[in-house]
Amino acid sequence: DGSFGIRIENTCLVVKTETKFDYTGGAGGYLTFEPVTMVPIQKKLIRSGLLNDDEKKWLDSYHQKVWDKVSPLLEEGGLGYEWLKRETSPI
């Protein structure tokens, strides 16, 4: 116990993207991942002290996307809504 990490998986699409700088000499063709699965990553499984600032920003950004996509589908104030609100709050 305490010797292994938790594997967190998410279904993603590979999509074309634009970047601030072009490192290909005009050839373009940059790709990124777009999450399909809109489920919060369970924060109680994460030792936040082991995350750097960029990793925390990524997690908070992902949770904001989940909130933005899923919360409009839930009844405001309902159990699911309150659960999602809690689970997508910043780390």
The reply to whether the predicted model has a pTM over 0.95 is no
- Percent helix, percent strand, percent coil in the chain, to nearest 5: 40, 10, 50
Indicate the Cα dihedral angle 44, 46, 48, 49, nearest 10°.
120
Q: In angstroms, how far is CA 36 from the centroid of its own chain?
A: 10
41-85 tens-digit pLDDT: 998 888 889 999 999 999 999 999 999 999 999 999 999 999 999
Residues 22-40 have pLDDT tens digits of 777 767 688 899 989 899 9
Q: What is the mean pLDDT of the chain?
A: 89
With a cut of 70, say whether residue 1 has pLDDT above it: no
